[in-house]
Structure 1
Amino acid sequence: MTGSTNTATDFRNTILGGDSAQLMRAMPRNSVDFILTDPPYLVNYQGRDGRRVRNDDNSRWLRPAVNQMHRVLKWGGFMVSFYAWNRVDLFAEAWKAAGFRMVGHIVFRKNYASSSRFLRHEHEAAYLLAKGNVAPPAKAIPDVIDTPYSGNKLHPTQKPVEALLPLVETFCPKGGLVLDPFAGSGSSLVAAQHLGRDWLGMELDPDHAATATRRLAWHGAKRVAA
């Protein structure tokens, strides 16, 4: 795909493999309604089973990707991005440099501890970010969301679809396009598909991209059959 001839509709309801910053450069400016993403946390994560996350050992990709996310998001649009608490300075600097404003903070409360050292780690967190002047949603959702355990069967840091549904429903208009530049196993895209929104995923790891593609196809067929 080349940037000069594509329109936003060329990118709907598909998963693109490769570097998301490069892929987004081929997209038109102001073509995405909502971004929901769980990027690498920059903590060199390794799960109990030894699985790792690509590009989690460096921050070279962070600013280029965030700059492109800001470029493709429509004015007045929102982004929800997960982040690591101990790398918040790097994420916040990248968001602000790109032009995003922090307008909210969300805690995803877990019913288990993913780790325990000084404290039991029983939550994930994300910032609600805005591009330009944004209108508050018709119905505000809580900033604490209960999060069931996904099992991490499809991805080492897999997010449960249930926790993402209210974000898509609140911050993406009906008929809008949800982008996840770090799609992983596709949980954010499944949430968008379930709610009748269009979706676009990007994933560097070819195995995860294939998993997400199969998952979206399965859920799409199930939704049509219902």
Structure 2
Amino acid sequence: MNFRNRIIQGNCTSILQSFPDACINLAVTDPPYLVNYRDRSGRSLRGDNSPGMVLPCFPQLYRVLKPDSLCVCFYGWNRIELFMTAWKEAGFTPVGHIVWHKNYASRAGYLKSCHEQAYLLAKGRPRAPSRTLRDVLPWEYSGNRFHPTEKAVSVLSPLIESFSRPGDLVLDPFSGSGSTSVAAALSARDYCGIELERRYCIHARRRLSDARCHA
């Protein structure tokens, strides 16, 4: 399968099985948090109430990453035991934790939710980056116009620029509206996005076409 600089529709676990070993330099992904999320307009995510649709991706993701490489994975704090177990069973070692501080609350319950978070996961022993990021970073709201949990390109670009090099291949197996791939393309990296829903694949391809025109 030709997967470089493509957005591929389908189940990421199945699709990754067709990838060769050790072909990806960096993974940056924002999987469903397994919380049955609905936004204010009622939009939801396929697979968000099914660990069996999300967690089996990680062994395949580990396999396709090159030795001594990194994966940045966003997660929901109240399902961390599921994600951490899946990551470690796949072979990943947590080597860092990133928090993005919001200047607004995305929801309020016992506490106001004013941050996002991701683990930095290692396959092997990657070299430290030449540009070391802080582990607390500012957040930029994407507006969630095209996807209920859309991440801003400006949030993802520093990760890609720190943990990969120009010409590397960056994978997002839960691509959504394609923000990781757009950030990779604008950072002179190759990309591969995998997304279950056709409508988001179409939008991601449109965004990437626009990004290439402005690169």
TM-score computed with the length of structure 2 as normaliser: 0.98
> Cα deviation per residue 1:118-175 (whole Å; 9 max; x = unaligned)?
1110111000000012111112110011011110001000101111111000101221
- Correspondence for 1:110: 102
Give the share of equivalent positions with the same residue, in percent.
Answer: 47
Deviation at 1:63, TM superposition (A): 3.2
Report if aligned partners of 2:62, 2:123 keep a CA contact under 8 Å in 1: yes
Mapped to 2, the partners of 1:185 and 1:112 lie a distance apart of 23
SS at match of 2:154: helix
Matched, 1:125 2:131: no
SS at match of 1:55: coil
Mapped to 2, the partners of 1:111 and 1:74 lie a distance apart of 37
AA aligned to 1:22 is S
Report if aligned partners of 2:32, 2:54 keep a CA contact under 8 Å in 1: no
Given candidates 146, 156, 163, the residue that maps to 2:138 is: 146
Given candidates 2, 7, 15, the residue that maps to 1:23 is: 15
Report if aligned partners of 2:47, 2:54 keep a CA contact under 8 Å in 1: no
Report if aligned partners of 1:111, 1:149 keep a CA contact under 8 Å in 2: no
SS at match of 1:11: coil
Deviation at 1:178, TM superposition (A): 0.2
Mapped to 2, the partners of 1:73 and 1:209 lie a distance apart of 23
User: Can you give the 5+ residue segments of structure 1 that lack an aligned partner in the other structure?
Assistant: 2-9
Matched, 1:85 2:77: yes
Deviation at 1:62, TM superposition (A): 3.0
Root-mean-square deviation over aligned CA pairs:
0.8
Mapped to 2, the partners of 1:22 and 1:137 lie a distance apart of 32
Matched, 1:63 2:68: no
- Correspondence for 1:158: 150
Deviation at 1:37, TM superposition (A): 0.2
TM-score computed with the length of structure 1 as normaliser: 0.93
Report if aligned partners of 1:174, 1:196 keep a CA contact under 8 Å in 2: yes
User: Can you give the 5+ residue segments of structure 2 that lack an aligned partner in the other structure?
Assistant: none
Aligned positions, number? 215
SS at match of 2:94: strand
Runs of 4+ aligned residues of structure 1 deviating over 2 Å after TM superposition are none
> Cα deviation per residue 1:85-132 (whole Å; 9 max; x = unaligned)?
000000000000000000000001112110001111011100000001
AA aligned to 1:18 is G
Deviation at 1:61, TM superposition (A): 2.4
SS at match of 1:48: coil
